[in-house]
Chain A
Amino acid sequence: DVKVTQSSRYLVKRTGEKVFLECVQDMDHENMFWYRQDPGLGLRLIYFSYDVKMKEKGDIPEGYSVSREKKERFSLILESASTNQTSMYLCASTPRTYDTQYFGPGTRLTVL
């Protein structure tokens, strides 16, 4: 079974803090994705990575950065958290030539 794990299920941070969200997959997948999910807006792609040290902006990259130093790990960074970044953050992965994305359990981030 594909397993995608995220470092925290719930996180509370203060405005201006630097926040790291970690995602790890154990299936040697090349592609990894970060989404945020908000009521009424569905899933929106923040960033994705198709290989180590490679990254591509998604639909809403502003205020976020990512890091992929190892194939199994994809980190999402909020350089200076703001209240409008309060959301559910979902990580997903897929092999290079495969289409289905497999999701982690999500991190519910609250920025006060």
Chain B
Amino acid sequence: GESVGLHLPTLSVQEGDNSIINCAYSNSASDYFIWYKQESGKGPQFIIDIRSNMDKRQGQRVTVLLNKTVKHLSLQIAATQPGDSAVYFCAEKNSGAGSYQLTFGKGTKLSVIP
């Protein structure tokens, strides 16, 4: 599990600050997007999703922003806590293509400084 974080861009954030994690997606036809959190040694955990008919969606302490013009997705975490330390990655899907597959980004490692 630890090796998942190797070779990834890292974001270091002070505890209590807000975190912004970015993702550039590749397919302009993608209409569904997900953010996953993966803690060391564990499987990816669903955080929040958004469809292309929206540009913002909020959850508990998390907000996802979608900019279809530049094919950019971001995850904002408010009041970052040590338990937020993990690898975060986005996934995209073209639901209309009849495909079951998600395309995953490589991920960003978030380190929270106590």
Contacts and interface: CB of A to CB of B under 8 A. Distances in A.
Interface of A: 4, 31, 33, 37, 39-43, 45, 48, 50, 56, 58, 88, 90, 94, 99-106, 108
Given A45-B101, A99-B32, A99-B49, A40 B43 contact: no
A21 to B, nearest CB: 13
Interface in B77-114: 89, 91, 93, 95, 100-102, 104-107
B66 interface: no
B1 A88 contact: yes
B57 interface: no
B4 interface: yes
B7 interface: yes
Contacts of B46: 100, 102
B101 A48 contact: yes
Contacts of B89: 42-43
Interface size of B as a range? 20 to 34
Per CB-CB distance, the 5 closest pairs between chain A and chain B, nearest first, are A103-B43, A40-B7, A39-B6, A43-B104, A42-B106
A48 B101 CA distance: 9
A103 to B, nearest CB: 4
A106 B43 contact: yes
Contact of A100 (B4, B34, B41): B34
